[in-house]
Amino acid sequence: MSEFACPPPVNSGRERFGESFNQLQVESKISASHVKPLSHAHPVVTPIYHATTYRFDSVSQFNQTNHVSQFVFLTSGKIAMKFQGSNYIYQRCGNPTVDNVAVIIRELEQGAATMMYNSGLAACSAVLLEFLNAGDHLICMKPIYSGSYSFINETLPRFNVDVQFINVDKVKDFAAAVEAAIKKNTKECKQRGIHERYDARKKLIAFVPFH
């Protein structure tokens, strides 16, 4: 076999299966064939991973903790999910591209962790569904992003969540809207369309004397 001036990429699948690789059907060869990455190749920009699922080198590796959510029972009797481990198993539970962005944002924000969503409404609804339960009362500023408004105004009431919209510029109205029975209180502080931003901290500080 002649030597190439530019060596061709190595098929890691052929290395893994050995001589039996030649006995595989065409479909199996395609599925098993992957370029063997160079040990010294470190791209400056993190590649974009489109894979939905991942392959493991062994059953023991698959059984190790990974990004997939695990159900755990809390002392309160409720069921919660926690994410742990470093193996990737499914796209929804994270991939190298998403995790790279999450690490950068976490450092910029100096937070405990970062969760990435593919849309603002997905992030907003995830927060609301995490903290709100049937029978809760939600006070929401107006105006807000139309997608969030539709979700809060139309979807949450179907789950027996009482929603009240107020003008946060009027501190007394905000104070009057607060009820002692409120268990969870979530506020969206950014508003699209007219591109105004409200300083929620100042509003809350101004609210204290009325509470």
Residues of the chain predicted below pLDDT 50: 68-73, 180-181, 183, 195, 207-211
Predicted structure pTM score: 0.56
pLDDT at 153: 93
pLDDT at 211: 43
Q: 190: helix, coil or strand?
A: strand
Backbone angles phi, psi at 80, to 5 degrees: -125, 165
Residue 187 contacts by C-beta under 8 Å, 6 or more apart in sequence?
Answer: 139, 140, 141, 200
Calculate the CA 92 to chain-centre distance: 8
Q: What is the sign of the dihedral through the CA atoms of 103, 105, 108 and 111?
A: negative
Domains and CATH numbers, the chain: 1-42 (no CATH), 46-116 (no CATH), 120-210 (3.40.640.10)
As a whole number of angstroms, the distance between CA 60 and CA 38 comes to 25
Tokens read off for 2:
């002649």
151-188: per-residue pLDDT in tens? 999 999 999 998 988 887 777 777 777 754 454 555 55
